[in-house]
C-alpha cells in the first residue's frame, strides 16, 4: 500500500506551479498572486472525485493521469528526442520489473517504443487540423531549354484555416479576452479610446458593410488577421529559410494574441523559390514569383470564402454558439513583405502614392484597389512604374475576396518601422555617423567608447537590461533595440548638437505613445505634435552633412501609424513582434527536433502533435483533472481506488523549511494575473535577518545616525498630527521592535508589452546593502502635492522597515529616504526630462566636513513605484573607468528623471490619458 503522505504536493491556486511545501506555496501566492482586497477570502473548495469509464475513453489512449503527464513532459515540455523517450520507457519498464519481483504485480508501460507514443498522440481528436500539400506549377508556355523555375513544382503546406479559427474561437481560456462586436470606448472625459482591435474604426465599418445584407443581422464579424515573415533557422548550415503564415481571430484581445497560448497559430508554409542569381533577375521570373506568392495566400484564405457572405455557427470562448461572418483582417508584415503584398515598386509607400524622392509629401491620396484598377486601364507599364509605383504583373490576392483591400489592410509595424527601423537603423546609426564625420578618427572612437561607458554605467532599475559593453554588439534583436531606447538619450548629451538630442527625444515620445495598450484622442494629438517636431528637427542630419535626405519608407510610415491606431486599435496588437516570437516555437524549436532530412514535413508533424497535446491539456485543465502533482494524484487514486483530484485546500502543512525568496533580477518585473487594480506598494513578506530590532541599535549597526531623529519625527507626526518639536530625542522614546526588509513590491497598471491579462505588473524595488556585495538602493517616485512633474517627488531608499507603535497599536510600513529635489520648475528643454539633484544639508555627504545627508522617514503608502535616474555626465562626458552601474548613483550629483525607462513611467509624467 502506498503512503500518500510521501507524495504530498502543494499546487498554486492560481497557476500550474506546484511547490514543495505549504510555506513555499504561501510565499509564491503572496509574491505572484497577491490579494488586493483586505476583506475578501478564498472560497473553500470541496474535494472533487472523478471516476473514469474503463472502456469508453473517447479515443484517447492515455490510461491515467500519469500516462498523460509523462507524454506531455517528454514531448511538449522538454521536447525529448526519440532516443531519450525510448531510454525513458526502458527505465520505466525496468522499474516495473523490480516492482514485479517485490510485490508479484506487474504493469508494463503503455508504450513499448517512441512510435507507440506517437500513435497515441496522433489518435487525439482535439486540435486535429493536419497540414495538406498543395502543388503549384508555371502554367505558361515552356520553351525548349526553359529555365528550371518553369518546370519545377512548388509546394504549399497549408491547414484548413476555417477549422483553425474555429478552434481558436472555442478556447475557453479566452472567455474574458474576446469581443463579439465592434465597439467604441470612451474615458471619463468623453475622449475616444483605441485599445483592442474591435475598438477601431475598421471593424465598425466592416460591420456596416456586412449589415447591408439583412440575412447577416445579429451575426458576429470575425476578422481573421494574418502575419507572415521569413525566418532563418541555421546560418551555420546554409541559412535554411522558412516562410510561415500565421492567423488570429481579431475578436481576441491584444493581450490574448501576445500571450503564449493558441491566439496566433501557423496555418501555412509558403514555398520559397530558390534559383540562381541570374534567373532571379529576369523580369519573367519576378512576375512568376509574385504571382505564386499571391496564389498561395489566396489558397490559405479559400476555406473562409463562403463564410464571408453567408453566416455560419461557431462556438465562442464563453461556451455560447453564435452566427459568424468572416473577413480578411489586417496583415502584419515588415516593409519588404508589404511591397510584395501590395504589388508596388520597392521604395514606394504601400498605403499612399508618395514618391520615393519625396515621401514627406502630405497631400498625396491613399491607395486602394479601385484607383489601381483605374490606373491599369489608362497607363502603360512604364508609366505605372515610374509615376505611380504600381506593378502591372501581379494582382493582390485580396482582389478575389469580398470587402478586402490590401492597401487598407496593411497594419502598422512597431518593431520593424519604429524600433528596429527609425530608432536603431536610422537615428543611432546617423548619430554615430555624425560623430565620425565631425571628429578625427581617434577622437570619434573615444567619444563612441564614452557613450558606451555611459550606457553601461546606467543605475539599475527593475527589468532594465544592463549593457555591460554598451551598445556595440554584433547581433541585434528587437528586445535589444527596446532596451537601448530606455537609456540611449541621456548617454549622448554633450557629444552631439542639441537639435539631435531634441530630435531623438521627440521620436522617443512619439514611440512610447504608439506602444501603449490603450491610446485616447488627447494622446494621439500629443503623438501628432511629437511627429511634427521630429520631422522638423531631423533636418539637422541633413544640415550637418550626415544625410543627403530623410525620405525613407520606414520613417514615412510614421504618419500612417496615427491612422493605423484609429483603424485597428493600439498598434501593439498588430506588431510583427507577435509573429517573430511565434517563430521560436513554430519554426526554430521544431526544426531542431528534426534530423534535417526533408525537415519541413517533420516540422509539420511536430506542430500538429504539439497542437493536439496543448489542446487536450487545456481541456483537462478546464475539467480540473490536472490539479496538483502527478505523484500526489496517483497516490490518492490508488488509496481511494478512484481518480481523486486533491484541491489545494486538501493538502497538509509540512514541517519543511520556509523557501527563501529569489534575488534574481529577471524576477524584478513580472506580469500579474487578474483584473486591473489601483497601484499599491507593500514590503516583502520575508524580513531581513541578523539586524538589530531596536531603534538605536539599528541606527548604529547601519551607520545611519539620521535614522533616530527621522523616525521620531515620523512617529510624533503620526501620533499628534502636527509638526514635530525640536530635540525630540530628549522628550520621546521608542522601545518597540523594528523589522527591516530588503525589498518592496509595487503593483500597478502599465500599458507595456510585459503585462498580465488585466494589464497589471509587479515590480520589485530593492533596498539591500548586501546586493552584489556593493548594495543596491533603488530610487522611487513619491506622491507629493506640488504642481511640478505631476506632483511626483523622487527619493532614494536607504532603509525599508516595519513596526508597531506601542502607544497607538498601529502598524506601519515605512522607508527612510534621501530626497532628490527638482533643479528647475520645467523639464530640461533639450532632453525633455526633469532634472534632480541629491539633497544635501549642512555638512552634506560630499562636504569637506564629512557630515551626513538629511534623511526622512515616510510611509510606504506614499510611494508610487520605482523611478530611474540617469546621470548627467557633464559637458565633456568622460567618466572614470572604474565607475559602474553600481556606483553611478553615488558618483554623480545631478540626474535626469528617465521617463523613457518604461511605459508607465512615461505615462505618469508625460501622458494626457486618464486610463
pLDDT single digits (tens) 239-293: 689 999 999 999 999 888 887 788 999 999 999 987 777 777 788 899 999 999 9
Phi, psi of 422 (to 5 degrees): -65, -40
Crossing angle between the packed helical segments 335-342 and 553-568, to the nearest 10 degrees = 70
Measured distance CA(69)–CA(55) in Å, rounded: 20
Phi, psi of 606 (to 5 degrees): -65, -45
Write the pLDDT tens digit of every residue in 810-828: 999 999 999 999 999 999 9
In this structure, the dihedral spanned by the alpha carbons of residues 737, 743, 747 and 752, taken in order and rounded to 10 degrees, is 170
Q: What is the mean pLDDT of residues 501-523?
A: 93
Q: How far is CA 64 from CA 68, 96, 187, 634, in A?
A: 7, 16, 51, 9
Closest C-alpha among 815, 834, 765, 199 to residue 490? 834
Residues with Cβ within 8 Å of 123's Cβ and at least 6 positions away in sequence, in order, are 59, 60, 61
Q: How far is CA 268 from CA 586, 710, 855, in A?
A: 11, 66, 62
Q: What is the mean pLDDT of residues 642-662?
A: 37
Rounded to the nearest 5 degrees, what angle is found at the Cα of 91, between the Cα atoms of 87 and 94?
A: 140
E strands present in 108-235: 132-137, 153-158, 185-186, 192-194, 220-228, 231-234
- 195 pLDDT above the threshold of 50: yes
pLDDT at position 18: 67
Q: Kindly report the number of other CB atoms within 10 A of residue 481's CB atom.
A: 20
Q: What is the mean pLDDT of residues 334-356?
A: 94
Q: Where exactly are the structural domains of the chain?
A: 65-123+617-641, 131-343+394-411+574-593, 418-572, 669-910
Local structure of residue 388 (DSSP, 8 states):
I
Closest C-alpha among 508, 493, 480, 481 to residue 431? 493
pLDDT bucket at 52, cuts 50 / 70 / 90 = very low
- 372 pLDDT above the threshold of 90: yes
Percent residues over pLDDT 70 in the chain: 83
Higher-pLDDT residue of 727, 701: 701
Q: Which H helix or E strand runs over 865?
A: strand 863-867
pLDDT at position 16: 61
Measured distance CA(742)–CA(314) in Å, rounded: 52
pLDDT at position 757: 44
In this structure, the dihedral spanned by the alpha carbons of residues 715, 717, 720 and 722, taken in order and rounded to 10 degrees, is 160
pLDDT at position 637: 67
Q: What is the mean pLDDT of residues 92-105?
A: 70
Q: Considering the chain, what is the average pLDDT of its residues?
A: 83
User: Residues 376-388, buried b or exposed e (16+ Cβ, 10 A)?
Assistant: eeebeeeebbeeb
Beta strands at 894-897 and 869-871: parallel, antiparallel or unpaired: antiparallel
pLDDT at position 23: 64
Are the CB atoms for 549 and 542 separated by under 8 Å? Answer: yes
Rounded to the nearest 5 degrees, what angle is found at the Cα of 311, between the Cα atoms of 168 and 221?
A: 55
Write the pLDDT tens digit of every residue in 868-894: 999 998 776 678 888 888 888 988 989
Cell of 136: 503549384
SS (H, E, C) 806-843: CCCCCEEEEEEEEEECECCCCCCCCCCCCEEECCCCCC
Cell of 598: 526533408
Helices (H), 22-81: 22-32, 65-71
Supply the pTM of this predicted model. Answer: 0.83
- Residue listed under C-alpha cell 502543494: 10
Are the CB atoms for 250 and 331 separated by under 8 Å? Answer: no
Report which listed range, 65-79, 531-545, 627-641, 761-775, is most confident.
531-545
Are the CB atoms for 202 and 567 separated by under 8 Å? Answer: yes
Cell of 231: 525566418
Cβ-count burial of 102 within 10 angstroms (0-12 exposed, 13-18 middle, 19+ buried)? exposed
Write the pLDDT tens digit of every residue in 422-445: 999 999 999 999 999 999 999 999
In this structure, the dihedral spanned by the alpha carbons of residues 60, 64, 65 and 69, taken in order and rounded to 10 degrees, is -60
- 639 pLDDT above the threshold of 80: no
- 300 pLDDT above the threshold of 90: yes
- Residue listed under C-alpha cell 524600433: 419
Higher-pLDDT residue of 53, 254: 254
Rounded to the nearest 5 degrees, what angle is found at the Cα of 411, between the Cα atoms of 405 and 416?
A: 140
- 36 pLDDT above the threshold of 60: no
Q: What is the mean pLDDT of residues 172-194?
A: 92
- 358 pLDDT above the threshold of 80: yes
Percent residues over pLDDT 90 in the chain: 49
Q: What is the mean pLDDT of residues 71-95?
A: 83
User: Residues 795-809, buried b or exposed e (16+ Cβ, 10 A)?
Assistant: bbbbbbbbbeeeeee
Beta strands at 153-158 and 265-269: parallel, antiparallel or unpaired: antiparallel
Crossing angle between the packed helical segments 201-210 and 553-568, to the nearest 10 degrees = 60
Write the pLDDT tens digit of every residue in 143-163: 888 888 888 999 999 999 999
- 132 pLDDT above the threshold of 80: yes
pLDDT bucket at 767, cuts 50 / 70 / 90 = very high
Radius of gyration in angstroms for the set of CA atoms belonging to the chain, rounded to a whole number: 31
Helices (H), 623-690: 630-640
Write the pLDDT tens digit of every residue in 320-334: 999 999 999 999 999
Amino acid at each position: 500500500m502506498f503512503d500518500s503522505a510521501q507524495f504530498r504536493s502543494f499546487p498554486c491556486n492560481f497557476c500550474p506551479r506546484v511547490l514543495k511545501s505549504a510555506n513555499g506555496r504561501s510565499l509564491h501566492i503572496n509574491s505572484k498572486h497577491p490579494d488586493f482586497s483586505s476583506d475578501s477570502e478564498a472560497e473553500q473548495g470541496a474535494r472533487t472525485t472523478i471516476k473514469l469509464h474503463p472502456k469508453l475513453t473517447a479515443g484517447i489512449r492515455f490510461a491515467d493521469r500519469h500516462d498523460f503527464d509523462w507524454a506531455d513532459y517528454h514531448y511538449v515540455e522538454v521536447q525529448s528526442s526519440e532516443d531519450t523517450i525510448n531510454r525513458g520507457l526502458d527505465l520505466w519498464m525496468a522499474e516495473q520489473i523490480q516492482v514485479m519481483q517485490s510485490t508479484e504485480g506487474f504493469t508494463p508501460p503503455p508504450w513499448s517504443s517512441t512510435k507507440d507514443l506517437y500513435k497515441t498522440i496522433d489518435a487525439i481528436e482535439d486540435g486535429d487540423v493536419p497540414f495538406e500539400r498543395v502543388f503549384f506549377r508555371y502554367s505558361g508556355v515552356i520553351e525548349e531549354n526553359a529555365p528550371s523555375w518553369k518546370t519545377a513544382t512548388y509546394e504549399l503546406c497549408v491547414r484548413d484555416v476555417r477549422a483553425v479559427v474555429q478552434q481558436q474561437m472555442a478556447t475557453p481560456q479566452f472567455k474574458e479576452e474576446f469581443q463579439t462586436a465592434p465597439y467604441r470606448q470612451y474615458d471619463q472625459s468623453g475622449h475616444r479610446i483605441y485599445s483592442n482591435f474591435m475598438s477601431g474604426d475598421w471593424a465598425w465599418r466592416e460591420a456596416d458593410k456586412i449589415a447591408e445584407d439583412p440575412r447577416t443581422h445579429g451575426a458576429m464579424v470575425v476578422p481573421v488577421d494574418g502575419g507572415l515573415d521569413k525566418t532563418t533557422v541555421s546560418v551555420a548550415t546554409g541559412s535554411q529559410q522558412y516562410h510561415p503564415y500565421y492567423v488570429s481571430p481579431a475578436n481576441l484581445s491584444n493581450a490574448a494574441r501576445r500571450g503564449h497560448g493558441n491566439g496566433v497559430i501557423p496555418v501555412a508554409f509558403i514555398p520559397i523559390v530558390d534559383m540562381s542569381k541570374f534567373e532571379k533577375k529576369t523580369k519573367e521570373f519576378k512576375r512568376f514569383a509574385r504571382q505564386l506568392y499571391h496564389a498561395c495566400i489566396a489558397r490559405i484564405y479559400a476555406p473562409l470564402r463562403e463564410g464571408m457572405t453567408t453566416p455560419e455557427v461557431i462556438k465562442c470562448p464563453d461556451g455560447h454558439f453564435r452566427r459568424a461572418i468572416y473577413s480578411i483582417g489586417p496583415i502584419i508584415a515588415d516593409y519588404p513583405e508589404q511591397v510584395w503584398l501590395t504589388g508596388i515598386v520597392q521604395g514606394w509607400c504601400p498605403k499612399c502614392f508618395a514618391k520615393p524622392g519625396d515621401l514627406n509629401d502630405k497631400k498625396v491620396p491613399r491607395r486602394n484597389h479601385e484607383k489601381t484598377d483605374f490606373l491599369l486601364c489608362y497607363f502603360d507599364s512604364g508609366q505605372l512604374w515610374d509615376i505611380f509605383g504600381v506593378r502591372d504583373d501581379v494582382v493582390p490576392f485580396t482582389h478575389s475576396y469580398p470587402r478586402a483591400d490590401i492597401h487598407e489592410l496593411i497594419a502598422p509595424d512597431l518593431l520593424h518601422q519604429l524600433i528596429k527601423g527609425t530608432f536603431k537603423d536610422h537615428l543611432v546609426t546617423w548619430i554615430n555617423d555624425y560623430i565620425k564625420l565631425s571628429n578625427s578618427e581617434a577622437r570619434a572612437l573615444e567619444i563612441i567608447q564614452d557613450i558606451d561607458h555611459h550606457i553601461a554605467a546606467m543605475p539599475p532599475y527593475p527589468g532594465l537590461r544592463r549593457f555591460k559593453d554598451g551598445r556595440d554588439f554584433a547581433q541585434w534583436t528587437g528586445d535589444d533595440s527596446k532596451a537601448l531606447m530606455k537609456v540611449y538619450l541621456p548617454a549622448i548629451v554633450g557629444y552631439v548638437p542639441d537639435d539631435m538630442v531634441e530630435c531623438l527625444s521627440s521620436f522617443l515620445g512619439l514611440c512610447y505613445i504608439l506602444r501603449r495598450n490603450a491610446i485616447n484622442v488627447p494622446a494621439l494629438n500629443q503623438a501628432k505634435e511629437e511627429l511634427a517636431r521630429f520631422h522638423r528637427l531631423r533636418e539637422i542630419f541633413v544640415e550637418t552633412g550626415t544625410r543627403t535626405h530623410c525620405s525613407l519608407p520606414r520613417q514615412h510610415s510614421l504618419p500612417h501609424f496615427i491612422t493605423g491606431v484609429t483603424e485597428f486599435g493600439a498598434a501593439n496588437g498588430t506588431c510583427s513582434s507577435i509573429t517573430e516570437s511565434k517563430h521560436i516555437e513554430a519554426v526554430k524549436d521544431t526544426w531542431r527536433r528534426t534530423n534535417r532530412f526533408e525537415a519541413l514535413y517533420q516540422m509539420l508533424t511536430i506542430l500538429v502533435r504539439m497542437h493536439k497535446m496543448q489542446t487536450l491539456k487545456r481541456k483537462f485543465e478546464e475539467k480540473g483533472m490536472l490539479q496538483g502533482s502527478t505523484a500526489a494524484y496517483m497516490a490518492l487514486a490508488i488509496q481511494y481506488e478512484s481518480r481523486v483530484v486533491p484541491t489545494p485546500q486538501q493538502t497538509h502543512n509540512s514541517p519543511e523549511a520556509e523557501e527563501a525568496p529569489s534575488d534574481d533580477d529577471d524576477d524584478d518585473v513580472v506580469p500579474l494575473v487578474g483584473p486591473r487594480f489601483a497601484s499599491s506598494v507593500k514590503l516583502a513578506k520575508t524580513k531581513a535577518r541578523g539586524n538589530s530590532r531596536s531603534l538605536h541599535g539599528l541606527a548604529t549597526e547601519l551607520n545611519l545616525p539620521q535614522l533616530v531623529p527621522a523616525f521620531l519625527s515620523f512617529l510624533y507626526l503620526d501620533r499628534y498630527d502636527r509638526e514635530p518639536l525640536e530635540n525630540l530625542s530628549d522628550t520621546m522614546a521608542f522601545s518597540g521592535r523594528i523589522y527591516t526588509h530588503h525589498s518592496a513590491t509595487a503593483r500597478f497598471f502599465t500599458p507595456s508589452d510585459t503585462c498580465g491579462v488585466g494589464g497589471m505588473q509587479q515590480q520589485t524595488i530593492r533596498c539591500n546593502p548586501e546586493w552584489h556585495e556593493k548594495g543596491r538602493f533603488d530610487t522611487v517616485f513619491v506622491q507629493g502635492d506640488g504642481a511640478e512633474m505631476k506632483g511626483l517627488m523622487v527619493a532614494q531608499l536607504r532603509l525599508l522597515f516595519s513596526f508597531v507603535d506601542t502607544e497607538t497599536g498601529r502598524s506601519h510600513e515605512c522607508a527612510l529616504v534621501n530626497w532628490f529635489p527638482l533643479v528647475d520648475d520645467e523639464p530640461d528643454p533639450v532632453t525633455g526630462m526633469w532634472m534632480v539633484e541629491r539633497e544635501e544639508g549642512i555638512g552634506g555627504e560630499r562636504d569637506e566636513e564629512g557630515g551626513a545627508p538629511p534623511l526622512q522617514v515616510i510611509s510606504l503608502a506614499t510611494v508610487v513605484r520605482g523611478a530611474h535616474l540617469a546621470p548627467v555626465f557633464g559637458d565633456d562626458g568622460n567618466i572614470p573607468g572604474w565607475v559602474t552601474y553600481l556606483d553611478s548613483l553615488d558618483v554623480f550629483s545631478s540626474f535626469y528623471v528617465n521617463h523613457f525607462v518604461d511605459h508607465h513611467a512615461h505615462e505618469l509624467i508625460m501622458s494626457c490619458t486618464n486610463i
